[in-house]
Structure 1
Amino acid sequence: MGGRTPRRVRRVIKLLAFAFVVHVFVLPQIGGARKALSVLGSVNPFLVVLAVVLEMLAFLAYARLTQLLIPAEHRPPLRLAFGAVMASTGVNHVVPGGAATTAAVNYRLLGHAGVPAGEISFALGTQAIGSAVVLNVILWLALVISIPRTGFQPIYATVAAIGAVLIALFSAAVIAALKGREDFAAWVARLLSHLPGVSERQVLDVMVNLVNQVSTLARDRDRLRLVVGMAGANWLLDAAALWVMLTAFGPHPRVVGLLVAYGLANVMAVIPISPGGLGVIEAVLIPTLVGFGTPRAQAAVGVVAYRLVNFWLPIPLGALSYVAVERATSAERRRGFGRELEEQIDKVAGED
């Protein structure tokens, strides 16, 4: 076992290095070497920096979303939530289909910050599904505006249908949970109990907790509005980073066309082919942007530059964030233990 793990790590590092080389040096050649070099020579450094800032703000909005989905009594500080988001994103960008590993990182870091496991489950589940619904709503709106102007493409129907099913299932589940909480929880528990190794009692306990938290969130309108707002801000800030990065290398891309390309790429990236949608997002973004009028060389170089910030940068930042959050939470746990010990000593001294 000990010999296998280093080999696996080396294999992952080699694959990432290969992907990085292809991503940085091969993809820009799609538009032709001379055109790519010409586009690189006309870069606006200020806009590149602005794109990086917008991307960090997108991650910050996602961290705030995580924070808002955790009840106030156990809510971690924003800096810890941001660190957990960066750490889990970094892992997600290294491990293909790394949802389980990403969840494990979140459970560890948020758990060390004092968040109960049930509340972490609710936050992560609601965050993932809710963000997907918001992304599909943004894509739908962009499609409604763009189709009369640019025409209909078959892929639009496929992606729109997937979005419609997702939104319908999400809405039906929320309505069922709010109208008959106990019945809905019991129905899900019975359904999942048919799976091997799944206990109906345990599932029921988890479902009751989740349904109660959904009900609490639905009743708190101000918090619900903030949750939806942060989910939207996360996607729109990320899309803005893409728009600014493309503009750094040439003329402004059309906003509606960019949102269609961005939405299509991120919906397709859900397919767990590669970590963080590497290759999938680029393969969808570049031709779709070209279809909406962006010059091919600008689209190729701009998308690669955007993905350097969106995909590659979170890997080292995530590693640093993991260490920082671990240190911060371990120090907080030591302080908490010290306070508890002092209280016990004072209590014993008072009894004497």
Structure 2
Amino acid sequence: MNAPIGDLFSGPALVRRGIILFIGMLSLYYFAPDILELINSAPELVSINRRWFFLMILFELVSFAFLWWLTRIVLPQVSWFVAATSQLASNAASRVIPGGAAVGGAVLYRMLSVSGTSSGQAGAALAATGGLSTTALAAFPAAGFALAVAGAPIPESLLPAVLAGGVLFPLLLAVGVIAVRTTRPLLRLGLTISKVVAWTGRLVRRPWQFDPRKLVRERDSMVVAMGDRWPLAMVAAALNWVFDYLVLVTALVAVGADPRLSLVLLAYTGGALLAMIPVTPGGFGFVETGMTYLLVLSGITKGDALLATLAYRIVSLWLPIMAGSVAWLIFQRRYGNATEDSSEQPQPSGEPAPQDS
């Protein structure tokens, strides 16, 4: 997206958002029975020891901290305060508003600009952090396959789950290094995406196309923006997802489930992808239904899957939304009204703001 932020609230943009809202309402109606079943399991949350919730919140906080670190790696001049408050506020905006990825990106862009970051640097930061975060998530299925080959189940103790995070991290890092250092795997991935896009276009009778070289160009742009800091940026992006994944693992252990790490990882990836569907706030309905279904397929009982999904979403979605509101107010107290016009018109990147699932 290359339009000024004001265009996000123009007539056509509001009409599009209204259409998305209408589709979202239909989706919620469709998922209503599953959502009600999830809500009905809420009283059972009291059966979870508060220590487990503390651990889940701690993992989620660490996950967000790696996103803040990622921002500071790309923009070393940005303070921890700005990195944290801008990410929390933009994440909340993108989750509350249906189809709000563009709004979230604009909020992040604007807050970075108000704090003293130039428009060019802010745009490069959005592209780099968004691209790295998406790349790390895309590596999860491969990591899940590797864990499946290793046959790593979770016993009753949480320690093996934490160790699994230690196994997952180098796998994601290895995929990232390959993507940065070599071109052929990216081109092959681009060709695969191109075929899928073209096939989908034929189904809906649309001339959809995808240039396989786009992945290579975006990779090169990210590397240029980060310079020699890209290894640290890849570490931060990977660990962001790893610790959010551990929130779900902790929730499963807390409800007494005995899942397999590899299958839970695939269920987690599915939930993260469903959260990107821009028709309900934070993918509400899609994520809860999809993740519960995938967890049941992985061997978790439906009752445990419902309760674990509910606990995970409270920690990963609703608490960060509340934290984002507080972050916005704190930021405004320091920098004034971040929505006032300035001499520079922000032009956010097409990449969505990096978010925690």
Please give the TM-score of this superposition, normalised by the length of structure 1: 0.65
* Among 320, 325, 334, the residue aligned to 1:319: 325
* Among 215, 218, 223, the residue aligned to 2:224: 215
Partner of 1:294: 300
What is the CA deviation profile of residues 37-95 of structure 1, one whole-angstrom value per residue up to 9, with x for unaligned ones?
Answer: 8954531210111101111111111111112112x3xx211122111111011111111
5+ long unaligned stretches in structure 1: 151-160, 178-210, 332-352
**Which amino acid is the alignment partner of residue 259 of structure 1?**
L
| Structure that is richer in helix per residue | 1
Instruction: Identify which of structures 1 and 2 has the higher relative contact order when contacts are C-alpha pairs closer than 8 Å and 6+ apart.
Output: 2
1:312 to 1:292, Cα distance in 2 relative to 1, 3 A = same
Matched length: 265
Larger radius of gyration between Structure 1 and Structure 2: 1
1:164 to 1:282, Cα distance in 2 relative to 1, 3 A = farther
What is the CA deviation profile of residues 174-233 of structure 1, one whole-angstrom value per residue up to 9, with x for unaligned ones?
Answer: 56x4xxxxxxxxxxxxxxxxxxxxxxxxxxxxxxxxx4x742524x1xx21110011011
Deviation at 1:103, TM superposition (A): 1.9
Give the whole-Å Cα distance in 2 for the aligned partners of 1:267 and 1:108: 26
1:112 aligns with 2:117: no
Give the whole-Å Cα distance in 2 for the aligned partners of 1:235 and 1:164: 24
The runs of at least 4 consecutive aligned structure 1 residues that moved more than 4 Å come to 22-25, 36-39, 147-150, 161-164, 166-171
Partner of 1:26: 36
Contact 1:61 1:230 in 2 (8 A): yes
Deviation at 1:284, TM superposition (A): 1.7
The secondary structure found in structure 2 opposite 1:76 is: coil
**Which amino acid is the alignment partner of residue 142 of structure 2?**
W
Superposed, which structure 2 residues align to 1:22-171 within 5 Å?
A: 26-28=36-38, 36=41, 40=45, 42-70=47-75, 72=76, 75-146=77-148, 165=193, 171=215
Please give the TM-score of this superposition, normalised by the length of structure 2: 0.65
Contact 2:72 2:83 in 1 (8 A): yes
1:82 to 1:169, Cα distance in 2 relative to 1, 3 A = farther
Superposed, which structure 2 residues align to 1:177-326 within 5 Å?
A: 177=220, 211=221, 214-215=223-224, 217-218=226-227, 220=228, 223-326=229-332
1:274 to 1:119, Cα distance in 2 relative to 1, 3 A = same
1:104 to 1:41, Cα distance in 2 relative to 1, 3 A = closer
1:149 to 1:214, Cα distance in 2 relative to 1, 3 A = closer
Give the whole-Å Cα distance in 1 for the aligned partners of 2:131 and 2:336: 31
